[in-house]
């Protein structure tokens, strides 16, 4: 098949004709669930990790790789006329990045830590200075040296021992989110030969003896984190001791060191349940003790302070409340309420300091920061001047301090880092991550509007545009959404987005149900048997923007990634002619087949999010919206789909199969493209600049469909 398509493409080019899209082979595969069966003609595209990483491909692997190559070739040839535009967009985006940048230093255990970037280098250089910012710089890791010769590189987590002498760090060189732990002696600069593969990445905890660490390993098939081990520096890793094994396949697990330094904490989370086990950090060879018996529908977070734990919990509190318990008697019967539940405010996050507790709350859809003085028992909110924004607790590693570091951003305000004195209420701006190309926020306008969904629920839409590009009539508008896992898309600033705004696009975020824009109820109203609300809200947002003359169906575009890609797949099935174009990035589109198979990475942990299709009511409901299963003979909008061959979150074969099936049913003259990155996973390319190649492709596609050539 590949040979003849390549010949056909050459002939088409010679005759100045449009490239011909590839046609995938069909091989019937029956999927049986209960009393129902479905035929999947493209199931053959699924490969195992062993097949993908083999030095010599078997026939099936080669067939899959060849088909991906044909799709990439078709995309490249069809969009070849946008090559200069892609280059221009890429250069624009990169030009907004300060090349010799540096993060704001933070203090931890007597050292100031920061990361800096050198011109034309892809990766960060991580440094520290002892006691003073005027002290001599010590480079603890240079990612550029570690990444030499690698197509993909990610450093995920740097953990310094309590005595400041040892560094444990994690590296992924495949983009499959399997990390290897390495150790560096910060006194000599030597990286030890000892390494620990197949770890979680962000889970390393030092005990107070400065030689014991706890770490998390992953199941190589399901990719679920499941085991916690204890390792002693200088010993063979084969002697590492298993201290915890999470056997429930609906749970993730991990380990961390309490900010106070008193405890090592193992966490266990499913969609609906949290669980913790604690160990005194002075006794690394001791036994972990359960914080409180695991409940059936109880989610909570713990923070240690002094001789107590503070607990953010949904126990009899849908939007969470704050509790306190002595650290030697942590069973739930001993919990005492500190901040009660509120219907109009959701507690999102907590952080502790010696004399203060800081809470990130969501009120009226906006995140706010609330400070509690533990001595005076008085609290106050930090005030923000904009109508729609995002605020959140930043890096606060020091426990004995009255300074809170937080971040603030909006659709027109670049991310800004502040140090806030929690006693005097003095606010100090530490850094604005402003584009370096002369960006002026006064040239742009943002606002939040509210629409009524079809069932009467208020849905916020945050939007931004360039003032001198705003038209009195319909114009190009990109509507973005996510709507799953309770993840709320706050109005955030994007340097890349400027390239669209400056070309006359309006950008809008639909804060659909499935997120938690109005608290936990918004999440519950967009999951399981309420999942259709997520799609209805997004469609209703699009129709509102058309009705009120922001745009029309010849200028309305939509985009989303991962579970947001599911959103895009669903809405273009339901209302295909509402949209001029769409981008579905690493989309979760084969919902039923994936959720039927617990061997597929991350499936079992998400049955409480989507439903378990092994049960017929869930099977029928999920099948009713699954984008892959609902493909039909429709006039779909122009569509760009992206995938990562080593994606650990949404396996590459979901977008690949979806595109193959869409081609089979495609009606009309609109175009369908698939871009598969053969070197990356869920997050795309690694590195500081290379990732913008993907943004440039996405934007060039949008501009091409919109008829904008420059």
Our answer to whether residue 647 is catalytic in this structure is yes
Q: What is the DSSP letter of 102?
A: B
Contact of 168 with 159, CB cutoff 8 Å: yes
Higher pLDDT, 99 or 460: 460
pLDDT tens digits for range 177-228? 778 999 999 999 999 999 998 888 778 999 999 999 999 998 888 888 899 9
Grade residue 398 by pLDDT with cuts at 50, 70 and 90: confident
Instruction: Classify residue 237 as exposed, middle or buried by CB count within 10 Å of its CB (0-12, 13-18, 19+).
Output: middle
Pairing of strands 672-677, 638-644: parallel
Q: What is the DSSP letter of 567?
A: H
- CATH number of domain containing 205: 2.130.10.120
Our answer to whether residue 686 is catalytic in this structure is no
Q: How far apart are CA 96 and CA 494, in angstroms?
A: 11
- Is a pLDDT exceeding 70 seen at residue 16? no
Q: Locate the DSSP E strands across 246-339.
A: 252-257, 263-269, 274-280, 289-290, 300-305, 308-313, 321-326, 336-339
For 373, how many CA atoms within 13 A lie in the half-sphere containing its CB? 13
Contact of 537 with 459, CB cutoff 8 Å: yes
pLDDT tens digits for range 308-321? 999 999 999 999 99
Q: How far apart are CA 449 and CA 411, in angstroms?
A: 14
Q: Which residue has the tokens 């400070």?
A: 371
| Mean pLDDT, range 76-93, rounded to an integer | 96
Q: Quote the tokens at residue 539.
A: 């469609």
Q: Locate the DSSP E strands across 493-542.
A: 506-510
Higher pLDDT, 138 or 374: 138
Residue 520 maps to a domain: no
Q: How far apart are CA 130 and CA 113, in angstroms?
A: 9
Q: How far is CA 269 from CA 125, 280, 531, in A?
A: 33, 21, 22
Q: Which residue has the tokens 């606010």?
A: 427
Kindly report the number of other CB atoms within 10 A of residue 390's CB atom: 22
CA dihedral sign of residues 80, 82, 85, 90: negative
- Backbone torsion region of residue 94, taken as left when φ is above 0, otherwise alpha when ψ lies between -120 and 50, otherwise beta: alpha
Q: How far apart are CA 691 and CA 689, in angstroms?
A: 6
Helix (H, G, I), strand (E, B) or coil at 89: helix
Q: Kindly name the residue from 274, 394, 559, 562 that is annotated as catalytic.
A: 562
pLDDT of residue 388: 87
Least confident of 59-63, 523-527, 681-685: 681-685
Q: Kindly name the residue from 490, 682, 694, 704 that is annotated as catalytic.
A: 682
Q: Which domain holds residue 208?
A: 150-290
Grade residue 13 by pLDDT with cuts at 50, 70 and 90: very low
Our answer to whether residue 562 is catalytic in this structure is yes
Residue 710 maps to a domain: no
Residue 266 maps to a domain: yes
Q: How far apart are CA 134 and CA 129, in angstroms?
A: 8
pLDDT of residue 198: 82
Residue 428 maps to a domain: no
Length of the chain (residues): 710
Average confidence score pLDDT of the chain? 93
pLDDT of residue 29: 95
Q: How far is CA 81 from CA 326, 700, 708, in A?
A: 66, 10, 12
Contacts of 208 (CB under 8 A, 6+ apart): 162, 261, 281, 282, 284
Q: How far apart are CA 19 and CA 93, in angstroms?
A: 30
Please compute Rg for the chain using Cα positions: 26
Q: How far apart are CA 703 and CA 384, in angstroms?
A: 35
- Is a pLDDT exceeding 50 seen at residue 98? yes
Q: How far apart are CA 478 and CA 703, in angstroms?
A: 11
Contact of 685 with 677, CB cutoff 8 Å: yes
Residue 332 maps to a domain: no
Q: How far apart are CA 85 and CA 94, in angstroms?
A: 14
Can you count the helices (H) and strands (E) in the chain? 14, 37
| Mean pLDDT, range 118-134, rounded to an integer | 93
- Is a pLDDT exceeding 70 seen at residue 8? no
Tally of domains in the chain: 1
Nearest CA to 320 out of 340, 336, 338, 304 is that of 340
For 119-173, give the DSSP string.
Answer: TT-SS-EEEEEESSTTSPPEEEEEHHHHTTT-S--EEEEEEE-TTS-EEEEEEES
Q: Quote the tokens at residue 448.
A: 């939040």
Residue 268 maps to a domain: yes
Q: How far apart are CA 657 and CA 665, in angstroms?
A: 13
Residue 228 maps to a domain: yes
pLDDT tens digits for range 448-497? 999 999 999 999 999 999 999 999 999 999 999 999 999 999 999 999 99
pLDDT tens digits for range 214-269? 999 988 888 888 999 999 999 999 999 999 999 998 899 999 999 999 999 999 99
Contacts of 243 (CB under 8 A, 6+ apart): 214, 228, 229, 230, 266, 288
Q: Kindly name the residue from 275, 327, 647, 694 that is annotated as catalytic.
A: 647
pLDDT tens digits for range 638-678? 999 999 998 888 999 999 999 999 999 999 999 999 999 98
Residue 281 maps to a domain: yes
């Amino acid at each position: 098949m590949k040979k003849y398509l390549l010949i056909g493409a050459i002939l088409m080019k010679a005759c100045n004709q449009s490239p011909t899209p590839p046609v995938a082979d069909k091989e019937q595969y029956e999927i049986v669930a209960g009393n129902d069966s479905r035929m999947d003609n493209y199931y053959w595209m699924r490969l195992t990790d062993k097949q993908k990483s083999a030095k010599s491909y078997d026939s099936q692997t080669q067939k899959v790789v060849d088909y991906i190559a044909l799709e990439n070739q078709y995309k490249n040839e069809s969009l070849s006329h946008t090559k200069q535009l892609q280059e221009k967009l890429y250069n624009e985006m990169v030009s907004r990045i300060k090349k010799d940048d540096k993060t704001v230093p933070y203090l931890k255990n007597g050292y100031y830590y920061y990361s800096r970037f050198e011109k034309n280098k892809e990766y960060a250089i991580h440094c520290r200075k002892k006691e003073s910012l005027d002290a001599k710089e010590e480079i603890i890791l240079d990612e550029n040296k570690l990444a030499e010769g690698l197509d993909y590189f990610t450093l995920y987590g740097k953990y310094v021992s309590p005595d400041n002498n040892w560094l444990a760090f994690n590296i992924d060189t495949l983009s499959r989110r399997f990390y290897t732990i390495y150790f560096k002696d910060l006194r000599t600069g030597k990286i030890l030969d000892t390494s620990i593969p197949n770890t979680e990445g962000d889970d390393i905890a030092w005990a107070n003896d400065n030689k014991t660490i706890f770490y998390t390993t992953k199941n190589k098939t399901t990719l679920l984190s499941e085991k916690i081990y204890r390792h002693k520096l200088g010993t063979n890793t084969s002697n590492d001791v298993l201290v915890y094994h999470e056997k429930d396949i609906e749970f993730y697990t991990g380990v961390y060191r309490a900010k106070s330094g008193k405890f090592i904490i193992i966490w266990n989370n499913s969609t609906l349940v949290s669980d913790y086990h604690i160990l005194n950090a002075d006794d690394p060879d001791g036994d972990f003790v359960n914080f409180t018996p695991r409940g059936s529908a109880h989610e909570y977070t713990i923070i240690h302070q002094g001789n107590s734990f503070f607990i953010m919990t949904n126990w009899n509190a849908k939007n969470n409340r704050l509790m306190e318990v002595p650290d030697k008697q942590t069973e739930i019967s001993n919990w005492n309420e500190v901040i009660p539940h509120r219907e109009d405010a959701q507690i999102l996050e907590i952080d502790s300091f010696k004399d203060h507790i800081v809470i990130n709350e969501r009120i009226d859809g906006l995140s706010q920061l609330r400070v509690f003085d533990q001595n005076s028992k008085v609290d106050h909110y930090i005030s923000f001047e904009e109508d729609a924004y995002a605020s959140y607790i930043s890096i606060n590693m020091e426990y004995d301090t009255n300074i809170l570091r937080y971040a603030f951003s909006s659709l027109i305000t670049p991310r800004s880092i502040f140090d806030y004195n929690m006693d005097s209420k003095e606010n100090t701006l530490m850094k604005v991550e402003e584009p370096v190309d002369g960006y002026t926020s006064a040239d742009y306008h943002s606002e939040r509007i509210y629409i009524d969904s079809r069932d009467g629920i208020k849905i916020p839409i945050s939007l931004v545009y360039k003032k001198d590009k705003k038209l009195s009539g319909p114009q190009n508008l990109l509507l973005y959404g996510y709507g799953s896992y309770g993840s709320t898309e706050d109005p955030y600033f994007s340097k890349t987005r400027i390239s669209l705004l400056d070309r006359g696009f309006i950008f809008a975020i639909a804060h659909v149900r499935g997120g938690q824009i109005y608290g936990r109820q918004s999440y519950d109203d967009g999951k399981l048997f309420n999942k259709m609300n997520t799609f209805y809200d997004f469609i209703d947002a699009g129709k509102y923007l058309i009705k009120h003359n922001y745009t029309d169906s010849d200028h309305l575009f939509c985009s989303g990634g991962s579970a947001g890609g599911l959103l895009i797949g669903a809405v273009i099935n339901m209302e295909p002619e509402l949209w001029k174009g769409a981008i579905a990035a690493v989309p979760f589109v084969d919902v039923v087949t994936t959720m039927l198979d617990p061997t597929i990475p991350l499936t079992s942990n998400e049955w409480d999010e989507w439903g378990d299709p092994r049960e017929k009511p869930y099977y029928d409901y999920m099948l009713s919206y699954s984008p892959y299963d609902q493909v039909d003979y429709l006039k779909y909008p122009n569509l760009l789909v992206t995938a990562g061959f080593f994606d650990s979150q949404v396996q590459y074969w979901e977008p690949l199969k979806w595109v193959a099936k869409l081609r089979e049913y495609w009606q009309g003259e609109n175009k369908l493209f698939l871009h598969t990155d053969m070197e990356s996973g869920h997050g795309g390319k690694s590195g500081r600049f290379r990732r913008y190649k993907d943004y440039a492709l996405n934007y060039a596609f949008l501009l091409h469909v919109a008829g904008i050539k420059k």
